[in-house]
C-alpha cells in the first residue's frame, strides 16, 4: 500500500490547475445509460472512482475508451441490468445506475451500497422517489430489485436535501411519462452540471440549482459530448493549502462562486482572495484567525471541506467551533489531527478546535477521502516529517495531488510499498 511522506514547513507558492469534478463526473457517466450511442465526456479526472464507474458501466455492456482526460462511452451495447455487490461496495455512487436502467429498460437489480466511514448513508429517499414514479421495488438478499413498465411523472418532496437522491430522480424522470416536480431538491453545482448534460441529451429540465426542479419526460435521449465542471472541493483544498502554509498561490480553472460559503469564512479568517481573468489568488495572512463553521447543504459550507478547514483551524489564533450537520460520523480525522498535537475536543456533532502555535509531524492513517486531505494539509504546516498511510482513500478523489503540491514547492513524496 502506498504512503505519502511530507516534510512540512514550506510556504506554497506558484500556480496550480484544478481537475474536473469527481462528484459531477460520476452521475454524468451514469447518465449515458439513458441513451444509446457514443458519448464523449471531457475534463474527466484520473481517479479510482472514475475507474470504478467505468467498470460498472462495462459490466452493464457499455464500451468505453479513454484518451487523456477524454472518455468515450458507447452505451448502445447495454443489455445487462444488474450492478453487483463487488462493484457497488467499492463506490456508493454506483447505486445511481438503478434509476437510469429502470427508466430505459423497465427493470434493474442493483446491490444496496451499505454504510461507510462517515455515516450510515441510507438510500431510502432515492427508493421512495422512484416508487412515486411508479417503480415496484423489492429488497432481496442485499439487492434492490426494481420494475416499471413505464415510469410516470410525479411530485417528489424530499424529506432532507439529498445530492445523490436528486441526481437519481433527475435521471429517472428524464425518460418518465409526463411531468415530475422535485421539491426540496438539492442545489449543488454538480446537480446543475448533470441537468445541463441531460438537457443537451434532449431532456426538458428547468430549475436545477434551485430547490424546485421541473422535468418534462421525453421518449428518447441522444448521445452527447460534454465537458465536466471543475472540482470545487479540490480547488477548496488548494485554497486551504495556501492558507495553512503561509503561502501565495494562483489557482487556475476553478469557479470561485461555487465556493462562496467557504470563501467568506476564509476571508473572515484573514486570508486574501482575489480573482482576475478566471485565476484565483490566495494569499495567507501572517496569522490565521479562528472562525466557527457549520456544514450545510449548498449554498452552505460544504461538508466535503469540513476536515480540511479543521486542519486550518488547528493552527489559527483562538478557538473555533466546527459543527457537522450532514453526516453523523464525519470527525474520523480528529484523532489523527490530535497526533500532530492539535487541541480538539468533540461534543456531539461539534468539535472545538483551539489553535496551537505549531503542529508536529507524525505517522498518521487516512480514514476517508477528505480526512486524508486534512492530514496532508496538517503535514504541510507541521514541523518535521509526516507519514500518511492508507492513501488509497485519497486516490478516490484527488488527481495527482502530490505532484500538484510538489509543483507549488511542497516537499511531498509517494512511497510505493
Ligand X SMILES: C=C(OP(=O)(O)O)C(=O)O
Binding residues: 22-23, 92, 304, 326
Taking CB within 5 to 8 Å according to partner kind, which of ligand X, ligand UD1, none is near residue 397? ligand X
Stretch binding ligand UD1 (CB under 6 A), from 101-109, 124-132, 136-144, 170-178 = 124-132
Is 308 one of the binding residues for ligand X (CB under 6 A)? no
Beta carbon nearer to ligand UD1, 121 or 281:
121
Beta carbon nearer to ligand X, 50 or 127:
50
Q: Which of residues 197-256 bind ligand UD1 (CB under 6 A)?
A: none
Is 160 one of the binding residues for ligand UD1 (CB under 6 A)? yes
3-state secondary structure the chain: CCEEEEECCCCCEEEEECCECHHHHHHHHHHHHHECCEEEEECCCCCHHHHHHHHHHHHHCCEEEEECCEEEEECCCCCCCEECHHHHCCCHHHHHHHHHHHHHHCEEEEECCCCECCECCCCHHHHHHHHHCCCEEEEECCEEEEECCCCECCEEECCCCCHHHHHHHHHHHHCCECEEEEECCCCCHHHHHHHHHHHHCCCEEECECECEEEEECCCCECCCEEECCECHHHHHHHHHHHHHCCCEEEEECCCHHHHHHHHHHHHHCCCEEEEECCEEEEECCCCCECCCEEECCCCCECHHHHHHHHHHHCCCECEEEEECCCCCCCCCHHHHHHCCCCEEEEECCEEEEECCCCCECCEEECCCHHHHHHHHHHHHHCECEEEEECCHHHHCCCCCHHHHHHHCCCEEEEECC
Exposure string over 185-205, b if 16+ CB within 10 A, otherwise e: bbbbbbbbbbbbbbbebebeb
Out of 121, 204, 252, 339, name the contact with ligand UD1 by CB under 6 A: 121
Out of 374, 397, 401, 408, name the contact with ligand X by CB under 6 A: 397
Q: Which residues are annotated as a binding site for phosphoenolpyruvate?
A: 22-23
For residue 299, say if its preceding peptide bond is cis, omega within 30 degrees of 0.
yes
In terms of Cα–Cα distance, which of 24, 28, 170, 141 is closest to 82?
A: 141
Is 304 one of the binding residues for ligand X (CB under 6 A)? yes
In the complex, minimum distance from the CB of residue 123 to ligand X, in angstroms, rounded to a whole number: 12
In terms of Cα–Cα distance, which of 130, 97, 136, 101 is closest to 113?
A: 97
Q: Which residues are annotated as a binding site for UDP-N-acetyl-alpha-D-glucosamine?
A: 92, 304, 326
Residue 116 appears among annotated catalytic residues: yes
Is 21 one of the binding residues for ligand UD1 (CB under 6 A)? no
Taking CB within 5 to 8 Å according to partner kind, which of ligand UD1, ligand X, none is near residue 399? none
Out of 19, 21, 23, 166, name the contact with ligand X by CB under 6 A: 23
Grid coordinates representing 28 are: 454524468
Beta carbon nearer to ligand X, 288 or 365:
365
Is 74 one of the binding residues for ligand UD1 (CB under 6 A)? no
Please give the size of the binding site for ligand X, defined by CB under 6 A: 7
Taking CB within 5 to 8 Å according to partner kind, which of ligand X, ligand UD1, none is near residue 210? none
In the complex, minimum distance from the CB of residue 161 to ligand UD1, in angstroms, rounded to a whole number: 6
Binding mask 263-302 for ligand X (x = CB under 6 A): ----------------------------------------
Is 113 one of the binding residues for ligand X (CB under 6 A)? no
Binding mask 185-204 for ligand UD1 (x = CB under 6 A): -x---x--------------
Cα gap 278→265, rounded to integer Å: 21
Stretch binding ligand UD1 (CB under 6 A), from 158-166, 175-183, 306-314, 342-350 = 158-166
Report which residue's Cβ sits closest to ligand UD1.
Answer: 164
Taking CB within 5 to 8 Å according to partner kind, which of ligand UD1, ligand X, none is near residue 263? none
Beta carbon nearer to ligand UD1, 50 or 291:
50
Report which residue's Cβ sits closest to ligand X.
Answer: 304
In terms of Cα–Cα distance, which of 176, 103, 94, 106 is closest to 143?
A: 94
User: Among residues 38, 70, 116, 261, which one is catalytic?
Assistant: 116
Residues annotated catalytic, as ranges: 116
| Binding residues for ligand X (CB under 6 A) | 23, 92-93, 304, 369-370, 397
| Binding residues for ligand UD1 (CB under 6 A) | 23, 26, 92-93, 119, 121-126, 160, 162-165, 186, 190, 303-304, 326-327
Amino acid at each position: 500500500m502506498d504512503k505519502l511522506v511530507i516534510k512540512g514547513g514550506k510556504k506554497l507558492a506558484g500556480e496550480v490547475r484544478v481537475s474536473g469534478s469527481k462528484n459531477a463526473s460520476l452521475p454524468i457517466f451514469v447518465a449515458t445509460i439513458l441513451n444509446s450511442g457514443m458519448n464523449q465526456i471531457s475534463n474527466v479526472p484520473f481517479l479510482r472512482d472514475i475507474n470504478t464507474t467505468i467498470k460498472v458501466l462495462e459490466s452493464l455492456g457499455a464500451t468505453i475508451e479513454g484518451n487523456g482526460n477524454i472518455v468515450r462511452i458507447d452505451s448502445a451495447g447495454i443489455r445487462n441490468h444488474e450492478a453487483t455487490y463487488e462493484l457497488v461496495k467499492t463506490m456508493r455512487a454506483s447505486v445511481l445506475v438503478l434509476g437510469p436502467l429502470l427508466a430505459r429498460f423497465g427493470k434493474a437489480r442493483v446491490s444496496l451500497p451499505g454504510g461507510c466511514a462517515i455515516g450510515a448513508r441510507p438510500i431510502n429517499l432515492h427508493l421512495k422517489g422512484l416508487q412515486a414514479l411508479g417503480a415496484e421495488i423489492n429488497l432481496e438478499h442485499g439487492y434492490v430489485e426494481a420494475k416499471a413498465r413505464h415510469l410516470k411523472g410525479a411530485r417528489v418532496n424530499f424529506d432532507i436535501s439529498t445530492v445523490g437522491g436528486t441526481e437519481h430522480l433527475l435521471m429517472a424522470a428524464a425518460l418518465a411519462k409526463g411531468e415530475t416536480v422535485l421539491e426540496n431538491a438539492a442545489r449543488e453545482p454538480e446537480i446543475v452540471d448533470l441537468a445541463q448534460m441531460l438537457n443537451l441529451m434532449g431532456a426538458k429540465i428547468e430549475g436545477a440549482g434551485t430547490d424546485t426542479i421541473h422535468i418534462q419526460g421525453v421518449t428518447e435521449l441522444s448521445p452527447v459530448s460534454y465537458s465536466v465542471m471543475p472540482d470545487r472541493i479540490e480547488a477548496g483544498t488548494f485554497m486551504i493549502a495556501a492558507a495553512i502554509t503561509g503561502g501565495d498561490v494562483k489557482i487556475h480553472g476553478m469557479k470561485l462562486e461555487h465556493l462562496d460559503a467557504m470563501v467568506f469564512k476564509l476571508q473572515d479568517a484573514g486570508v486574501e482572495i482575489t480573482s482576475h481573468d478566471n485565476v484565483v489568488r490566495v494569499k495567507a495572512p501572517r496569522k490565521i484567525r479562528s472562525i466557527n463553521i457549520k456544514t450545510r447543504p449548498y449554498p452552505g459550507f460544504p461538508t466535503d471541506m469540513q476536515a480540511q478547514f479543521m486542519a486550518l483551524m488547528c493552527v489559527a489564533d483562538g478557538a473555533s467551533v466546527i459543527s457537522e450537520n450532514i453526516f453523523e460520523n464525519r470527525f474520523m480525522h480528529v484523532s489523527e489531527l490530535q497526533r500532530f498535537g492539535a487541541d480538539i475536543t468533540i461534543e456531539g456533532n461539534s468539535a472545538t478546535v483551539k489553535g496551537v502555535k505549531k503542529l508536529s509531524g507524525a505517522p498518521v492513517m487516512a480514514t476517508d477521502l477528505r480526512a486524508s486531505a486534512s492530514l496532508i494539509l496538517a503535514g504541510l504546516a507541521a514541523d518535521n516529517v509526516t507519514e500518511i498511510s492508507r492513501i488509497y482513500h485519497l486516490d478516490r478523489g484527488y488527481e495527482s495531488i502530490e505532484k500538484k503540491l510538489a509543483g507549488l514547492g511542497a516537499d511531498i513524496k509517494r512511497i510505493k510499498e
